[in-house]
Every structure is written in C-alpha cells, then in structure tokens.
Structure 1
Amino acid sequence: MASVTEPQESESVGTVVVAGAANLAIAAAKLVAGVTSGSAAMLSEAAHSFADTVTEVFLFVALRRGAKPADEEHPFGYGKESWVWAFIAALFTFVAGAGFSIYHGIETIVEGEESGPFLASYIVLAVSFAAEGVSFLKARRQIRTESSRWNVTTRRFLRLTPDTTVKAVYFEDSAALIGLVLAAAGLGLTELTGNSVWDGVSSIVIGLLLLVVATVLASSNVSLLVGRSVPRRVHTAIAAEIAALPVVTAVPTLFTMQLGPDGILVAAKVDFADDAPGGEIERASDEAERRLRARFPEIRYVFLDPTRGEPGRNHLDGGLDARPL
C-alpha cells in the first residue's frame, strides 16, 4: 500500500542496521545468562535474538536488492526480490528460532536440568525488554502513521501492505516482547517450585510463538511473489478513474499486480466509444495514465487494451479483500 521514497528507504536501512546490532548484543547477553543459569527459556531467548539478528541481515539485503533500477533483463525492476529475501528471513526464523526453542524445551522437560542462579537472567530480561520496547514503539508509530495516511486500521494496513520489511520488524518486536515475558514467567515458576518443567514449557511456548510469526510472514511474502493484486478499494478507484474519461464506455477487465513494495502494474481492457477517432483514444490513454499516477504514485506501468464490451459494465469487484491476520 505505502510507497517508499528514497529518504524513507534510507531510514529503513538505518533502522534495520541498528536493530540488527542491538539484537546481536542482546543475544550475546542472553546466551551468557542462559549458560550461567542453565535455563532453557533463556537459551531459547538467545536463539530468538540470534534469529532476529540474521533476519535483520536478510531484510537489509532485501532493501538493497529490491531497490535496484529496472534494466533490459528485468524491465519491471527488482522489487519482487525484496520479498524473496524476506521469505528466506521468515524461513530462518522458522528453522533456527522456533526449531531450537521447541527442541530444547522438550529436552529440558524429558531430561531435566539444574537451574540457577537466576539474578543475572532477570537483569538481562529487563534490559532486553527495555531495548525491544523502544524498537517496538518506533515500529508501531510508523505503522500508525502509514495506516492513517491510507485511512485504514492498523490491522488492515498490516494485512494489505506490500512493505514486508516494516511488517517483519513490527511482528518480530511484538514476538520479542511476548517472548521475554514468557521467559521471565518460566524462570519465576522454576525458581518458586524448583521444577525445571516450567522452564521447558516456557521454551516450547516461545518456539510456538516464533512458529506463528514465521508462518504469517512467509505466507505474506509468498502471496506477493506469486503476484498479488492491490487492495479492493484501490482497484475500484483505478477502475473509476479510467471509466470517468469522456470517450470510455466501460472497463470490462482490470488487472493489477504489486511489482514491489513501491510499485504497481495496471493492465485493463477498455471499451472506448465506437465513434472515437484513434487520436482521441491515444490522448485518453495518456490522460488515464496521468490521472492514475497522480492519484497513486506507486503505479509504475499502465497498459490499456481497446476492446469491445458492454456499455457501463465495469470490473469493480477485483482486488485484494482484507481478511483477518
């Protein structure tokens, strides 16, 4: 939905770099605390943060590769490549983060482990929560700003946005905060009861949380890679803009596709008035492209195919409809 201008892209790159460095430092602290205390939940949180660090690397590559200009080999640009790297990032979270957490949690429950001391773990969790909280608030502020610009709810924006980098950061920060609370709960219950089962259960729940986040992000990127249309409201507005031209009788077919986080392709079969001369049809086609780009700067390509259709029958029911996340 949202376009990415050059300053916004530079800001996104900086955000990813800072988040990656912060995650790496937090992961190292969690690892030390986990090894010292023997806590499965802390080790799972360390795996979580290491996975987030590698994910930030993939997202950095996604931003760089997806911003490459179009060339003869790729005339529509490299926007979709950003979703390839974002998909790889989601798979890494699935395998490295969720896989390790679930496996280590089961191992702790089955075999049992000696835990303690806990103080270092609590300190690391508190510092990590503060750091992740700052990152989360920044991501949430960006999401709210963009959703307000498009006059949609935050939930709908997250569902429809083609900028999966912003979506990934928001979801990862949310999962990180929840995971820290779960790890603290597991440690607290283990310390109170002296039973490491709670620590193992906490680790498994953290793994399941990562599994859900990875699945949502992977599904979103796959949908965009296959060739997802624009949101239904945008689709309807595009059809209305074309149909409003004086020499246009109807727009019987309209197809749209996201070419990247900031690129849209529009292809339509247009029924022009039978008595319209060729020159007027050409001028109308140029006017349609001008209007569409003025209203939706993300539109990069507009292809109109003159065709015979039924007067007044416009393709208004296409586009992506919002479903629950």
Structure 2
Amino acid sequence: MSEGEVKAESVGTVVVAGAANLAVAVAKLVAGLISGSAAMLSEAAHSVADTTTEVLLYLALRRGARPADTRHPFGYGKESYVWALLAALFTFVAGAGFAITHGVTTILVHRHSGDYLVSYVVLGVSFVIESISLTRAVRQVRNESRRWRTSPRRFLRLTADTTVKAVFLEDSAALVGLLLAAVGLGLSHLTGDELWDGLASIGIGLLLLVVATVLAWSNLSLLVGRSVPDRLHREIERELAGLPTVDRVDTLMTMLLGPEEILVAAKVDFHDQATGADIEAAADEAERRLTDRYPEIRFVFLDPTRSMPGTDGRRARRTQDQEQDQRRPGPP
C-alpha cells in the first residue's frame, strides 16, 4: 500500500466516523429530550464530542500533509498532533465533563420523564451505525499492521498515525457506552429507580476520560519528539552497518516527524581506507536502501566520526542511551 493510499484510507476512516457520529448524536439528543434519560443525554454529548473530534482529526490530516517549505524544512507533520491533542482535550472536557455532571445530578434529583421505548430504538440503531464505523477502523488497523509486519495491538500502541488510533478507540468506547446506557436505562425502567440511569451516565463519562487521557498522552509524546519503535530502530541500524565501507554505527537517532515521516541521523565510523568519494557513495546508498525498504523515511543524515577506543583496545559502540547519559549533569 502506497503512502497516498494510506493517507486516503485515513481520511476515509475519519469521514465515515464523523458522519456516523453526527447522525447518532442527533438521534440520541432527540431520544434523550423525549425520554429524559440522563444516560441518553450523556450518550448524545458523547457523540457530539466524537463528531467534533472527527472534524479536528480531519484538520489534523489536512494541515499535517502540507509540503515542506523554507520556513518548515521538515514539513508540517507535527501539526497534526496539535489538532489531535485538541480533539482529545475536547473529549475530556465536553464529553466526560457533561456525562459525569449530568449523571450526578440525576442521582441526586431522581427524576425521569417520558417514554423509554424511543431510547431503546435509538440505542439499537446507534449500535449498528457505530459498528459499521468501527469495522472500517479495524480493517485499516489490520492493513497497517500487516504493512509494518506487526500485530494490530502493537500497531495501535506504537503507531504515529494518531487519527487511526483515535477513531478506533472512540468507536470502541462508543459501543461500550451504548451498552452502559442500555443497562442503566433498562434497570431504571425495571426498578423505577433513576439511580441506575445516573450511574450509567457517570460510567460513560469515566470511559471518555480514559479514552481522552490515552489519546492526549500519545499525542503529547509525539509532539515532544518520539523515536521509532525498537524493532524498526534495530533494522535501520543493521541496514547502515551493512554498507560496504562502514565499520560500525556509533550512534543512531530517529524521530517521528509525522504520521508517515521519519528522520534518521547517525554517527558512522567508516573504514580508515575509505575516501571522500567512498563516503559520499555510502551516504547515497544508505538513503536509497532505507527509503526503498521504508518509504516513510524522509531524511537520512550520516555524520562520519572516528571510532572510540574501548577498554579492551577494540572499538566500542556508543549507544543513544550513552549519548544521553553523558549529556546529563552529574550530582552537585
């Protein structure tokens, strides 16, 4: 799958999820107003938050895909994480805040007005619609995990494409929230006690808190500047170490510049007999090898460096962790 196809699939996943959430939000709001159910109104707030999130994720995809220019030579990939972080914060404040507050109010007031039937119908229809959206997200997660030769679970944990992660988590949370609303509504209907409806609303709010926290933490980590996963790091190192004129890779550093953009920088110890032309050819070969195998790698910088003498007289490899340890200030 090419990079353009991946981006198109991500946009399609976000659009489908946004359309589904908008339709469901309207239906839940009408049902909540008619039935007076706190859980239904919380689910309406949940869907409104998800719809707004999809709009922000769409902006993240579009703004982050802009080409590099003189002021932003590495492109705008990190801007996508800003919009995705805002989406997570909106879910945290608007969705979770409303659901928990309304649930507590319902428990204290214990008042319910209207018919339950419309809520049951809307919950059933919403479950079908959200399932369709989640199915598309799951399909993309599986395709992407196969492309990276990893498991779907590991892909979701480590992927830099937070839009896919956001849609998957939000749609999964939407289905769980619908089940919570159905249980709370059903128990309130059977017992006549609105305590269950209020507890379901609080449960929906806590669910949104968890999703928002996971997404916010993931985007914050990528904004700060996260390296590629360890397995990919080792594969890049092997490719560089396999160059004919390379003795060893002293330091290898990587950074995720965007959902589909990786920067590679390395201090490389070339053979003592290597000429300037040999080093230039090796740098070109390194870029060709890495970009052919991993199209997401956009920048490859090699810094020729002298080998470090080890305690046993042989050359010693300097790792990224050692570089960081040397830069840390010592104890006072």
Per the shorter chain, which TM-score range? over 0.9
Name the residue aligned to 2:259.
261
User: Structure 1 stretches of 5 or more lacking a match?
Assistant: 319-325
Name the residue aligned to 2:21.
23
Code of the residue aligned with 2:188 in structure 1: it is T
**1:130 maps onto 2:128 in alignment:** yes
**1:114 maps onto 2:112 in alignment:** yes
Name the residue aligned to 2:279.
281
Q: How far 1:294 moved relative to its partner?
A: 1.0
SS at match of 1:207: helix
Residues 105-152 of structure 1 show CA distances to partners (whole Å, capped at 9, x for unaligned) of 011111221243100000000000000001111111211122122222
Code of the residue aligned with 1:179 in structure 2: it is G
Task: Decide whether the 8 Å contact of 1:250 with 1:314 is kept in 2.
Answer: no
Name the residue aligned to 1:12.
10
Choose the corresponding residue for 1:146, options 130, 144, 147.
144
Task: Decide whether the 8 Å contact of 1:239 with 1:316 is kept in 2.
Answer: no
Task: Decide whether the 8 Å contact of 1:31 with 1:42 is kept in 2.
Answer: yes
Structure 1 pair 41–230 and aligned structure 2 pair: CA distance change class (3 A): same
Once residues 317 and 73 of structure 1 are traced to their aligned partners in structure 2, the CA distance between those partners, rounded to angstroms, is 31
RCO higher in structure (CA 8 A, sep ≥6): 1
Q: How far 1:278 moved relative to its partner?
A: 1.1
Choose the corresponding residue for 2:156, options 158, 162, 178.
158
Code of the residue aligned with 2:236 in structure 1: it is I
Task: Decide whether the 8 Å contact of 2:53 with 2:90 is kept in 1.
Answer: yes
Aligned length: 316
Choose the corresponding residue for 1:206, options 194, 204, 207.
204
Once residues 118 and 30 of structure 1 are traced to their aligned partners in structure 2, the CA distance between those partners, rounded to angstroms, is 12
Root-mean-square deviation over aligned CA pairs: 1.6
Once residues 12 and 234 of structure 2 are traced to their aligned partners in structure 1, the CA distance between those partners, rounded to angstroms, is 36
TM-score, normalised via structure 1 length: 0.94
Once residues 103 and 257 of structure 2 are traced to their aligned partners in structure 1, the CA distance between those partners, rounded to angstroms, is 41
Task: Decide whether the 8 Å contact of 1:40 with 1:104 is kept in 2.
Answer: yes
1:18-167 aligned at under 5 Å gives the runs 18-167=16-165
Q: How far 1:275 moved relative to its partner?
A: 1.9
Counting aligned pairs with the same residue, the percent is 67
SS at match of 2:100: helix
Q: How far 1:316 moved relative to its partner?
A: 8.3
Residues 176-196 of structure 1 show CA distances to partners (whole Å, capped at 9, x for unaligned) of 000000000000000011000
More divergent stretch after superposition (142-151 vs 92-101)? 142-151
SS at match of 1:245: coil
Task: Decide whether the 8 Å contact of 2:166 with 2:215 is kept in 1.
Answer: yes
Name the residue aligned to 1:321.
none
Name the residue aligned to 1:322.
none
**1:313 maps onto 2:317 in alignment:** yes
User: Structure 2 stretches of 5 or more lacking a match?
Assistant: 309-314, 323-332
Task: Decide whether the 8 Å contact of 1:186 with 1:198 is kept in 2.
Answer: yes
